[in-house]
A = this chain, B = another copy of it.
Amino acid sequence: MNGDKNNATRAAILEAAEQIMREEGYAAVSSRKIAAKAGLKSQLVHYYFRSMDELFLALFQRVDEQRFQLLTQALASKRPLHALWKMSTDTNGPWLNKEFIALATHREQLREEIARGTERTRRIYAAVLARVLEERGLAHEAWPPAALAILLDGAARLMNSEAALGSSTGHQEAKNFIMHFLDQIEGQTAGPAVALYNSGT
C-alpha cells in the first residue's frame, strides 16, 4: 500500500467505494467505477491499493472504526440500550454488514478482520446489557447478556435486511415488543425500571 494513510485522494477513493457498495452492492465495486465516481483515473486506485482485497480491507477498517466511535458515544448516553438499539436499526448507519459478510466468503484476511470486529461489537453490547441489568437489580442467570445481545442484534439486522427488500411483515410488532422490553429494563425515560418477571410461584 502506497501513500500517506491520511492522504485526501486515498480518502476520496474509500469514500467512493463505500457509496458504490451501499448503492449497488459489493460486486459492483471496481477500480473503474470508483475512479469515475471520484473523478480520478482508475489506475490511481491501484496506486493507493495494490489489490482490491487491500482496498476492501481498508474500507472495512474505516467503517469498523466509525462504528466503534458511535458505539462509544452510545455507551455514554443516559439510556445506552435505547441508544444501541437506535443505532443498530439505523439503515444509514456505518454497518454495511450484509455486504462485507457476503464479500468475505472467500477472502481469508477480510474474514478474520470481520470476525474480530463482530466480536468486539458483541462484547461491548453484552457488557452494557450486563451493566444495566445489574444496576436495575434484574441480573439473573436465566437472562444471560450475551444471549440478549444476539437476539437484539439479530432482530435489528433481519429487519434492516428485509426492509431493504421491501418486506416488513411483523416488523412493527417486533419493534414494539423490543421497545417495551428496553423500557422495562432501562426505564421509559430515565425513571426506575419495573420488574420483568417473577422467579417464583
Q: Which chain A residues have a beta carbon within 8 Å of chain B's beta carbons? A: 24-28, 98-99, 101-106, 111-112, 114-115, 118-119, 122-123, 126, 142-144, 146-151, 153-159, 161-162, 164-167, 169-171, 173-174, 176-178, 180, 195, 197-198, 201
CB-CB < 8 A to A197: which residues of B? 197-198
Known: A115-B167, A150-B170. 14 other contacts (CB 8 A): A26-B27, A111-B165, A115-B165, A119-B167, A122-B170, A143-B177, A144-B174, A146-B169, A146-B170, A147-B177, A147-B178, A150-B159, A151-B151, A154-B157
The dominant DSSP class at the A interface is helix
Contact pick for A174, options B24, B150, B162, B201, CB 8 Å: B150
Cross-chain contact of A170 among B27, B105, B147 (Cβ < 8 A)? B147
